[in-house]
A = this chain, B = another copy of it.
């Protein structure tokens, strides 16, 4: 629609291309606005010139998030579902692990917790401290990595991945607290039933290196 018919193929003359781009861009946006008004539709147009400059148009009241939300609901599902599967499997795996832990825990409750020696206690404490630190670092790495490869449709993926990490973390913590508290409880109980000693009122004496639990400093 002009003085002459043109073939639809890349315009090689750069300044012609530039002019045509500006004209047609305006035309496209005008048409988008019109269909929006005439047909009561939500329309979005996003254009990047070959130079990488962004031009866009959205029907009024149509925010980007809104369009994208709808978009994702309508067309993102398939893409997402693929990612979803692998993560879901992983979460199932963790859940199963959790169940196993529950069983093991019930078993532990019947065992002789008092047979735990201070040395083992130190090891456990260190494991707790390190485990916590490592897991937190891991989580941070996870975040950083994901933020680098940031892509729209991986949003859900990320949330699930984080959720999974947190589930693992919660598992560790739950077990740790249970063990610690159980040991404390048995210790005190044993103390009260097997002797008439009462905790001293004063400040505990200086501890020696490696003698009893170390208090994590981080």
Contacts and interface: CB of A to CB of B under 8 A. Distances in A.
A211 interface: yes
Contacts of A69: 150-152
A3 interface: no
Contacts of A182: 213, 215
Interface string A155-170: 1101100110010001
A112 to B, nearest CB: 5
A199 B190 contact: yes
A174 interface: yes
B185 A212 contact: yes
A197 to B, nearest CB: 6
Contacts of A180: 177, 180-181, 184
Q: Say how many copies of this protein the assembly contains.
A: 2
Contacts of A159: 143, 146-147, 158, 162
Contacts of A112: 201-204
Given A24-B39, A41-B21, A150-B155, A207 B181 contact: no
Contacts of A110: 203
Interface size class of A (residues with CB under 8 A): 35 or more
A46 B66 CA distance: 12
A128 to B, nearest CB: 5
Given A27-B31, A181-B128, A203 B143 contact: no
A144 to B, nearest CB: 10
List of 9 A-B pairs having minimum Cβ-Cβ separation, nearest first: A185-B213, A185-B212, A65-B151, A180-B180, A21-B39, A54-B74, A114-B199, A42-B48, A181-B213
A215 B17 contact: no
Nearest to A62: B48
Contacts of A214: 185
A115 B201 contact: yes
B17 A34 contact: no
30 contacts: A9-B37, A21-B35, A21-B41, A24-B34, A24-B38, A28-B35, A32-B45, A41-B47, A53-B74, A64-B153, A68-B151, A69-B150, A109-B215, A110-B203, A114-B200, A116-B199, A118-B192, A125-B185, A128-B177, A132-B170, A139-B166, A143-B159, A173-B177, A174-B216, A181-B215, A182-B213, A187-B188, A187-B191, A189-B211, A193-B205
